[in-house]
């Protein structure tokens, strides 16, 4: 699951609220050990996703910009290269 959490800092175009929320959801799923909480835990699960989303938004707003912003295409190519390298070792 953690591999689904992507770098969100310093993208052009900027990271969307949906991307931040998706990363928060993946984080809470990983930490809680469940993809879908049971009925008794839904409120705590949703609250945690909201809190992680807010914290991530604050973090991204406070980080300094790099000299060269990232692009999603370049990050996708880098991920493919890492995957090919891992597959070659297996």
Residue that is written with structure tokens 């969307």 in the block: 16
Residue that is written with structure tokens 């070792």 in the block: 89
What does the alpha-carbon distance between residue 71 and residue 56 come to, in Å, rounded to a whole number?
A: 19
pLDDT in tens, 41-76: 999 999 999 999 999 999 999 999 877 888 888 888
pLDDT in tens, 14-25: 889 999 999 999
**Rg of the chain's alpha carbons, rounded to an integer?**
16
Count of domains for the chain: 1
pLDDT band for position 3 (cuts 50, 70, 90):
low
Say how many C-beta atoms besides its own lie within 10 A of residue 15's C-beta. 20
pLDDT band for position 4 (cuts 50, 70, 90):
low
78 or 7, which is more confident?
78
pLDDT of residue 27: 94
Say how many residues make up the chain. Answer: 90
Is 57 in a helix, a strand, or coil?
helix
Domain range spanning residue 7?
2-89
């Amino acid at each position: 699951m953690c591999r689904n959490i992507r770098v969100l800092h310093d993208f052009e175009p900027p990271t969307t609220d949906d991307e931040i929320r998706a990363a928060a959801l993946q984080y809470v799923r990983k930490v809680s050990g469940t993809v879908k909480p049971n009925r008794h835990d839904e409120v705590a699960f949703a609250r945690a996703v909201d809190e992680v989303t807010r914290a991530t938004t604050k973090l991204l707003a406070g980080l300094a910009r790099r000299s060269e912003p990232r692009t999603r295409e370049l990050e996708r190519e880098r991920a493919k290269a890492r995957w090919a390298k891992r597959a070659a070792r297996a």
